Amino acid sequence: MEKLKTSENLRWWVLATVMVGTFLGRIDQTIVNLALPKIIGDFSITVSAAGWIATAYILANAVFVPVWGKLGDTLGRKKIYIIGFVVFIIGSILAGLSWNLSSMIVFRIIQAIAGSADYPTAMAIIAITFKEGKERAQALGIWSSSFAAATVFGPLLGGPLIDNFGWRSVFLVNLPIGLIGLLMALVFIEESTSKVKEESFDWLGAISLGVFLSMIVLVLDQGMDWGWFSLNSILCYLTSIVSFCFFYFWEKTHKSPIVDFKFFKNEIFVGALVNNFVSFMGMMGSVFLIPVFAQSFLGYSATESGYLFIPMAFMIMFASPIGGSFVGKVAPKWIIFISSLVAAVGLYLFTGIDPRSGAIDIIIPLCIMAFGLGLGMAQRTSVVASAVPHDEIGIASSILALVRNISGAFGIAIFATILNNSIKNNVLNITKLSTFHFTGAADIGKAIGLITFKAQVVAYDQVFLIASIIMLLGAFSAFMIKVGKAVPKEEIYIE
């Protein structure tokens, strides 16, 4: 076994192992959404109530990411990774055996808590395993591509499973895949911990951060239904502000903080976070509209909409290693800038889609955007991993995970709101500019339908235009990342 552990090939087995875990955790998020209609029918619940199945998962996942990152650095990354894997499998089985909405929400929270251990520990394990800068960047790029693969293959696998074996199968399928990943983790991953021994775990910091994140994610997820200035939303805003202020001042004095704010004094780290936030906000906030558009205006089924994203996944997996190959040859800011620029072009091309568009009209912009994002994926992740000491990689990666998760929630909430507001404004504008010649009540109905239809199509154009502008502006944030030729063998530590 020792010979196996010292072999060069072991590193790539470690990468394959964490990719299985990441793929499993992310595919679960996408595949469950397909099962919601069946769950609604079986549990006799409303669509609004069913929404809490996803909301509870998002909340729990966001809250526990930084906790697992800290525990991984302190107690051991392999130990935490395996605990997360085991609990996730158990949570999946329980979710598959749910008997009502309450039990489903509880078991989904268990899944989310366990699943949130994957990102910070997996990224730390890769960073520790691949110590050489260029190879690490390539490994992180390949690992990042598993996110895209899960996003696409989730709907493709979920449809046949639900149609043939029922909604419970989307949870129970995690058992065989999870056992394979767990066995690989036990065999291939070596234990690693921070050299700095912690006196005590910062539970008060973890709780206050959890409250802050819960309120932010909750209002982003539910704000459009509640109203952004409703009592519920205002209470969320106030609670998030108070909890964050407490968290900030508490962490500044704690000897072993959950989030060390010294990270934010480093321009490299901050620049990478800003670019990640903008990139993921633009991608998540706009791409979630594509299946809606395809099904509403092109007449596609849910499965057919999923097929549109297959080329996108392969394009990200194709571009990620290419971006990683530039490590040590080109400064990361240029690769990240170009990647964001290409992604902005892809988003802009969506402004041309309309009800006459075909699949190719959606696939080409998706592929261009995916290539751009994939090209900078390795660089974005590697810069963060290399900007901090090995002892704090888990914490740094958990911050990156938080930024990506929250940016995605921001993007979806913001663009959904922009879409709805644009539709309302377009209805008024089109109505003002239209001349009507009615001959009966039927003509009035047709006119209203046509105006609404036109307003919705134009609104999608406006959303994608705004998304492309945001992505373009985000490209310039890459110049905050002032590193020479990315990422050198000598780590870029924060002093």
68: domain CATH number?
1.20.1250.20
Domain presence at residue 489 = yes
d(CA 182, CA 301): 35
* More reliable by pLDDT, 58 or 434: 58
In terms of domains, do 181 and 267 share one? no
* More reliable by pLDDT, 16 or 324: 16
Return the C-alpha torsion angle 136, 142, 144, 150, nearest 10.
-160
Domain presence at residue 385 = yes
In terms of domains, do 163 and 51 share one? yes
Mean pLDDT value of segment 228-248 = 90
What is the structure's pLDDT at 194?
A: 63
What is the structure's pLDDT at 493?
A: 34
Q: Which of 172, 217, 176 is nearest to 32 (CA)?
A: 172
Domain presence at residue 80 = yes
* More reliable by pLDDT, 185 or 444: 185
In terms of domains, do 99 and 226 share one? no
In terms of domains, do 288 and 181 share one? no
The mean pLDDT of the chain is: 78
Range of the domain at 444: 262-495
In terms of domains, do 95 and 225 share one? no
d(CA 449, CA 442): 11
Domains contained in the chain, number: 3
pLDDT in tens, 275-286: 888 887 877 777
What is the structure's pLDDT at 74?
A: 76
The last residue of one of the domains, among 193, 217, 237, is 193
Domain presence at residue 198 = no
In terms of domains, do 323 and 234 share one? no
The last residue of one of the domains, among 217, 239, 259, is 259
Q: Report how far Cα 463 is from the mean position of its chain's Cα atoms.
A: 20
User: pLDDT-based confidence at 462, cuts 50/70/90?
Assistant: confident
* More reliable by pLDDT, 114 or 382: 114
What is the structure's pLDDT at 114?
A: 87
pTM of the predicted structure, to 2 decimals: 0.71
Domain presence at residue 351 = yes
What is the structure's pLDDT at 390?
A: 65
User: pLDDT-based confidence at 492, cuts 50/70/90?
Assistant: very low
Domain presence at residue 356 = yes
User: pLDDT-based confidence at 445, cuts 50/70/90?
Assistant: low
What is the structure's pLDDT at 495?
A: 31
Taking a C-beta distance cutoff of 8 angstroms, is the pair 280, 399 a contact?
Answer: no
In terms of domains, do 240 and 283 share one? no
Domain presence at residue 90 = yes
pLDDT exceeds 90 at position 345: yes
The last residue of one of the domains, among 193, 213, 234, is 193
pLDDT in tens, 256-307: 777 777 777 777 778 888 888 888 787 777 777 787 788 778 887 766 776 7
Q: What is the 3-state secondary structure (H, E, C) of 214-283?
A: HHHHHHHHHHHHHCCCCHHHHHHHHHHHHHHHHHHHHHHHCCCCCCCHHHHHCHHHHHHHHHHHHHHHHH
Structure tokens given for 100: 């009502």
* More reliable by pLDDT, 323 or 468: 468
pLDDT exceeds 80 at position 113: yes
Percent of the chain with pLDDT strictly greater than 70: 83
pLDDT exceeds 60 at position 489: no
Taking a C-beta distance cutoff of 8 angstroms, is the pair 95, 108 a contact?
Answer: yes
pLDDT in tens, 191-222: 876 665 555 667 788 788 878 877 887 787 77
d(CA 253, CA 367): 47
In terms of domains, do 299 and 448 share one? yes
In terms of domains, do 117 and 138 share one? yes
Domain presence at residue 389 = yes
Return the C-alpha torsion angle 227, 233, 234, 236, nearest 10.
-170
pLDDT exceeds 80 at position 443: no
Structure tokens given for 16: 């394959």
Mean pLDDT value of segment 356-378 = 87
* More reliable by pLDDT, 357 or 133: 357
What is the structure's pLDDT at 487?
A: 46
d(CA 181, CA 8): 20
What is the structure's pLDDT at 91?
A: 92
User: pLDDT-based confidence at 444, cuts 50/70/90?
Assistant: low
Percent of the chain with pLDDT strictly greater than 90: 9
Structure tokens given for 407: 């940016």
In terms of domains, do 297 and 209 share one? no
In terms of domains, do 154 and 280 share one? no
Lowest mean pLDDT among 107-116, 140-149, 344-353: 140-149
In terms of domains, do 318 and 435 share one? yes
